[in-house]
Structure 1
Amino acid sequence: MTTMTEASVREFKMPDVGEGLTEAEILKWYVQPGDTVTDGQVVCEVETAKAAVELPIPYNGVVRELRFPEGTTVDVGTAIITVDEGGGAAGAGGAAPAAESETPAETPAATPPAQETPKPEGRKPVLVGYGVAEASTKRRPRKGVPVQQAQVQTRAGAQQPEAAAAAAIQGELNGHTSPAGRPSPVGTPPSAGSATPAAGRPLAKPPVRKLAKDLGVDLATVTPSGPDGIITREDVYAASAPPAPEPVQTPVAAPAQAAAGVSHEGARETRIPIKGVRKATATAMIDSAFTAPHVTEFVTVDVTRTMKLVEELKQDKDLAGLRVNPLLLIAKALLVAIRRHPEVNASWDEENQEIVLKHYVNLGIAAATPRGLIVPNIKDAHTKTLPELAQSLGELVSTAREGKTSPAAMQGGTVTITNVGVFGVDTGTPLLNPGESAILAVGAIKLQPWVHKGKVKPRQVTTLALSFDHRLVDGELGSKVLADVAAILEQPKRLITWA
């Protein structure tokens, strides 16, 4: 067998895909051990506290090992995949998945076969930390197991006939316990119906352990049903289910359901892990609510003329193919109001005890996504023409819906717009994004009776709400900004006269 040169093996570590992030969850692997990869090829997708990001690998070679399974949260700087730049041994099948290796250096390719042990027809699956059920090769003793015990385990595996091993495997697949005399993963036969080896730790894969932890289930109390006495997801669900008056079969949770939260048919509760974007949003909102003193002001405005202008702009050839809607003109109105009152575009520097006036506007747009609320922003929005602003808004919304918003797109915002009107909501009291001075909430635009030119007529009406940091923005400044936005939406010609 060709041995692998360790000098040719490169480790790819979890990068910091955003400023100051400390961890990321592996959502999906696009490669497997033995696959050939090239420099710049995307090998996995990870989710940070800000967004989902695809990671390209900077090496050419053959994948030797995936260090972590999907669904694992990994610290930044930790190696997640190894690549053999030589490619020979891994390409010949020498690489083994991370789940079949106790340490990175302890792979079948680097371990010579035992001369006195006949080669079995197949190899049983192994779990991290439990060794191989039928020892076909000599292995180094597992950490924490005495050398004498490891040697007994190897000899016991070598003395077992192939026919007996096959019968034992078939018996376990049919739901029977291991026959007497068959060595357990640590060298002693397990008792019937028990998933606890001699070392005292139940057999379960990492995702099943995490599921048990989320449900509050002690794996030592769970009766295993999988091969080799392995505890499965269904076993954990069965152990967590409330007592029923009559025995019923516990349904198997679908993979998508298990990924979204811990639930199954008949359960009275669903538990969803707090992580990724949702966890970051919760932390940011707590910090915002209890750090910046919020003040919210409201105004109801007739936007009939703005809605007519939107319909006219949709027919303009200069805006052909672009997203033209009320949000476009609301964003432009807010940018004009900020230009007239630049003091509102600021931040509070607690450490240096300074107010930082921003001479640029990075306009945030709150977007609801399957992963939670995110707020990407349009960089230097104040410099953009109406067609450029429309193009930027369209790209921002499309990218957010696809889940491809980069962490960089969500950093450096100064003022935000949240459009709660798309949900049929009239208004709200939005919380500031940390580090920003103001956020404008736009309510639903509805046909309502309105006094227009001395007569009650049906008009298009909406309610605006402006929340601001009262350390930076006093009532007068906040009122002027909100009044300007309302005045522009009532008379959109002011976009020309005031700009």
Structure 2
Amino acid sequence: MTTMTDTSNAARFREFKMPDVGEGLTEAEILKWFVQPGDTVTDGQVVCEVETAKAAVELPIPFDGVVHELRFGEGTTVDVGQVIIAVDVAPGGGDVAAASAPASAPAPAAEPEDEAPKGRTPVLVGYGVAESSTKRRARKGTEAAPAAASVAIQGEMNGHGTSAVPAAPAVTAVSAVSGTRPLAKPPVRKLAKDLGIDLATVSPTGAGGVITREDVHAAATPAPVPAPAPVRAEVPAPTPAPAQAPAVVASTGARETRIPVKGVRKAIAQAMVGSAFTAPHVTEFVTVDVTRTMKLVAELKEDKEMAGVRVNPLLIIAKALLVAIKRHPEVNAAWDEANQEIVQKHYVNLGIAAATPRGLIVPNIKDAHEQTLPQLAASLGELVSTAREGRTSPAAMAGGTVTITNVGVFGVDTGTPILNPGESAILAVGAIKLQPWVHKGKVKPRQVTTLALSFDHRLVDGELGSKVLADVAAILEQPKRLITWA
């Protein structure tokens, strides 16, 4: 009888774990709590803002209740899968002292913590919104909080690699009986198909019930089924919520300052080292007269078809690169180390390196090759605006194929950019300056810039890289080629 009372009391408390808010990210820093113990929360309400190696993201809670405990303070880095908040989902129904157990304690057998609640579909953040018998529309999650600071199209290059998420405690596979589609990423689905494994029969161990590669391999070689976790007979009292720790700041001594490497800056360092020492970089340069391009930019600003969108030299440069890729599609590729294959891509997700208050990010325009000039201008404007406000999502920074980095905004002539991991090429654009130039046999003042193209020599040989760079330069020198070559 006592056991039943304790279990019922324990069921009052729900724990919300740090989800994988990106693609395989393993940790996130809690930037700010929007709730405190005793506050009432509702399904879909944002409870905190976290920063990953890719972006700042707001986390909504997937159930109603009263906040019982915050497990970590602001400024704390938390691993994916750790409990960050406990919520009393039945306030007034019993002794509040009987709180949920710490994250290390086993979950009740009646409702495993890592299993999606009934009526929910696991998503990147929590489990989404519960279904309603009245078929009401589900609440929508709020957008990420804006960061009040400026943004510039950046001159460095940053890559955002992915890393494997540590396996969570095993949960029961429910796909075979529920009829729902098992949760797995495309590479995992391909692996299962190659091994002849039905994903509906695989027990997921990834966060949010996602099937991992290890799960598929385990299913291919069956292992003894572990005994179920015992029902928790007694629930320990809660520990006081930790004091809100300040974010880690730089420590300054008499002669030097030490700045902790974390978040986006840590990801930049890791990705750049990985890219520089994995892909054999080659960089080629060309200096070009862009006077006609600057005249075209001025004319487009007055064109009614371009009303409401921002027109600048970067727009024409982006379009020129897309045309060059169309003429030489072999440059748009990736190196598959695992399978020792070159993957040629028939789409262009055009990355634009941008400097933000949280560090360098590289969001990309999906299927940029299909966009008209006005559409491309609108996409560039939205990309920069979103980055400026700190609302760039991890999905917007994934899947890039080639990148442009504009060092010219800093007055720099050019540079030797490092490839975004997984991409084949990156184009650096220098400052556009009035310089003496031989034009029609005479030295005249002309608008001139220098372009630099870095490429992966495993994918792109010198001839191909030179042709792509020469095409971009030719279009910027004679913009009418946008029509004749497109």
Amino acid across the alignment from 1:306: T
5 Å-filtered alignment, 1:131-146, equals none
Do residues 290 (structure 1) and 277 (structure 2) align?
yes
C-alpha displacement at 1:369, in angstroms? 1.1
- Tell me which residue corresponds to 1:399: 386
* From 310, 333, 337, the counterpart of 1:350: 337
5 Å-filtered alignment, 1:408-423, equals 408-423=395-410
Amino acid across the alignment from 1:40: G
Do residues 383 (structure 1) and 370 (structure 2) align?
yes
C-alpha displacement at 1:331, in angstroms? 0.4
Provide TM-score, normalisation by structure 1.
0.66
- Tell me which residue corresponds to 1:262: 251
Do residues 87 (structure 1) and 91 (structure 2) align?
yes
C-alpha displacement at 1:89, in angstroms? 6.9
- Aligned partners of 2:17, 2:41: CA distance in 1, in Å? 16
- Aligned partners of 1:267, 1:57: CA distance in 2, in Å? 45
Stretches of structure 2 that go unaligned for 5 or more consecutive residues are 1-5, 106-241
- Tell me which residue corresponds to 1:11: 15
Q: Which runs of 4+ in 1 moved over 2 A?
A: 3-6, 87-90, 94-98, 101-105, 205-208
Amino acid across the alignment from 2:402: V
* From 24, 28, 52, the counterpart of 1:24: 28
- Tell me which residue corresponds to 2:416: 429
C-alpha displacement at 1:403, in angstroms? 1.7
CA deviations over 1:345-387 (Å, ceiling 9, x no partner): 0011111111000000010100111111111111111011111
C-alpha displacement at 1:268, in angstroms? 2.1
- Tell me which residue corresponds to 1:329: 316
Do residues 476 (structure 1) and 463 (structure 2) align?
yes
C-alpha displacement at 1:446, in angstroms? 0.4
Which structure has the larger Rg?
A: 1
- Aligned partners of 1:83, 1:13: CA distance in 2, in Å? 11
The 1:206–1:97 alpha-carbon spacing in structure 2 relative to 1, beyond 3 Å, is: farther
Determine if contact 1:33/1:95 at 8 Å carries over to the other structure. no
- Aligned partners of 1:29, 1:259: CA distance in 2, in Å? 16
> Secondary structure of 1:282's match?
helix
Do residues 485 (structure 1) and 455 (structure 2) align?
no
- Tell me which residue corresponds to 1:446: 433
- Aligned partners of 1:431, 1:45: CA distance in 2, in Å? 31
- Aligned partners of 2:305, 2:83: CA distance in 1, in Å? 50
- Tell me which residue corresponds to 1:108: none
The 1:86–1:97 alpha-carbon spacing in structure 2 relative to 1, beyond 3 Å, is: closer
Amino acid across the alignment from 1:426: D
- Tell me which residue corresponds to 1:318: 305
- Tell me which residue corresponds to 1:217: none
- Tell me which residue corresponds to 1:67: 71
- Tell me which residue corresponds to 1:44: 48
C-alpha displacement at 1:319, in angstroms? 1.6
- Tell me which residue corresponds to 1:56: 60
The 1:470–1:335 alpha-carbon spacing in structure 2 relative to 1, beyond 3 Å, is: same
CA deviations over 1:122-165 (Å, ceiling 9, x no partner): xxxxxxxxxxxxxxxxxxxxxxxxxxxxxxxxxxxxxxxxxxxx
C-alpha displacement at 1:87, in angstroms? 2.5
> Secondary structure of 1:429's match?
coil
Do residues 465 (structure 1) and 452 (structure 2) align?
yes
> Secondary structure of 2:251's match?
coil
Do residues 374 (structure 1) and 378 (structure 2) align?
no
Higher relative CO (CA 8 A, sep ≥ 6), structure 1 or 2?
2
- Tell me which residue corresponds to 2:39: 35
- Aligned partners of 2:343, 2:61: CA distance in 1, in Å? 39
- Aligned partners of 2:265, 2:371: CA distance in 1, in Å? 31
> Secondary structure of 2:38's match?
coil
The 1:75–1:341 alpha-carbon spacing in structure 2 relative to 1, beyond 3 Å, is: same
Stretches of structure 1 that go unaligned for 5 or more consecutive residues are 106-204, 209-254
CA deviations over 1:17-57 (Å, ceiling 9, x no partner): 11111111101101111111111111101011111111111
- Tell me which residue corresponds to 1:119: none
The 1:32–1:97 alpha-carbon spacing in structure 2 relative to 1, beyond 3 Å, is: farther
- Aligned partners of 2:394, 2:322: CA distance in 1, in Å? 24
Give me the identity figure in percent: 83
- Aligned partners of 1:429, 1:102: CA distance in 2, in Å? 50
Determine if contact 2:407/2:428 at 8 Å carries over to the other structure. yes
C-alpha displacement at 1:95, in angstroms? 8.0
C-alpha displacement at 1:449, in angstroms? 0.7
Provide TM-score, normalisation by structure 2.
0.67
CA deviations over 1:48-76 (Å, ceiling 9, x no partner): 11111111111111111101000111111
CA deviations over 1:284-313 (Å, ceiling 9, x no partner): 100111111110000000001111111111
The 1:262–1:487 alpha-carbon spacing in structure 2 relative to 1, beyond 3 Å, is: same
- Aligned partners of 2:103, 2:326: CA distance in 1, in Å? 60
Amino acid across the alignment from 2:91: G
5 Å-filtered alignment, 1:60-209, equals 60-88=64-92
Give the alignment's Cα RMSD to 1 decimal.
2.4
Determine if contact 1:361/1:379 at 8 Å carries over to the other structure. yes
- Aligned partners of 1:383, 1:41: CA distance in 2, in Å? 37
C-alpha displacement at 1:316, in angstroms? 1.6
